[in-house]
Chain A
């Protein structure tokens, strides 16, 4: 008999990975970066500046536990322990609550630092769409921030807003982007700037006979427009990259690219680990500075 339990469509896939070709015992410097965000947490471990392992999971009810869970999952089956890490940097909204970190660095500086590693040396603008905020960061060729702007006033235009929509429309979060492109012509973006009102507006559109795909197209278009206004405030310097969970949503990325008339560079790694990668790179620079 069916239980009637509603599916949790917002649930994105958590993951961990390690490179079996790297023998961490031979590494001179092992650093870690732990990014505790409001929605997701990531841990990255680097051996002599090379990506060795990472994890990407949902943030739990408290930051210290989330940080520990993330690093333990990244170290799983590697034989590494916390004692083997030479320097750890915490970042993200919970950065000061990473109990095993040597230092906290803002996610803005970490995203800038990771740009070259994740996308190549030509990165100058990073658009990070996180769980509950979005930011635009300009950086130089060394990955140092030259300017930034952030919008964290409202969940609309963020990963959390997209999760709410996936649940409302009963569509797995991983399919939202592709299905939003399955429309004959692009509808007007939803007009509401607040996720609560946008939800109400979407329900109204469904009642008016819109297909789920059309509603998704209108919402993705509205999200793209919102982050674009942030981008326009400080301008775009080429090359542009998009990080965070929303960077995996082709419906948003392609609409941002269309509206801008430029293509964002494609990532070499999971876009959600950008902040933690930057933190691990910062850790390496800091340990080298200290010695």
Chain B
């Protein structure tokens, strides 16, 4: 399943897309620990697979929650993507 977490508003589209079929096969789930803002969470989905998602409290402000990894003037450093061995996380912005 491709789960899209985030929102669209007047300033743009801010979604994190997660391919949970890949997460269900990923034992270590290193992205969760790698995220400095502790945005990602492991949970059991409706089909009883252990996957990851974006914590509820970050979904409506994800642009700001991920801000520290995406400085405007310096190089972006998306630790979640770097940690993921299978390219399961995509950011829309």
Contacts and interface: CB of A to CB of B under 8 A. Distances in A.
Contacts of A105: 46
Main secondary structure of the interface of B (DSSP, over half): strand
Interface residues of A, number: 21
B60 to A, nearest CB: 5
B75 interface: no
B18 to A, nearest CB: 10
Main secondary structure of the interface of A (DSSP, over half): mixed
A230 B2 contact: no
Contacts of B26: none
A151 B8 contact: yes
Contacts, number: 44
Interface residues of B, number: 16
B8 A233 contact: yes
A153 B10 CA distance: 12
Given A152-B60, A193-B10, A233 B4 contact: yes
Given A153-B9, A193-B10, A233-B13, A144 B60 contact: no
B1 interface: yes
A147 B3 contact: yes
Interface of B: 1-5, 7-10, 13, 15, 45-47, 59-60
Interface of A: 105-106, 108-109, 144-154, 193, 229-230, 233-234, 282
9 contacts: A105-B46, A106-B46, A108-B46, A146-B2, A147-B2, A148-B1, A153-B9, A193-B9, A234-B2
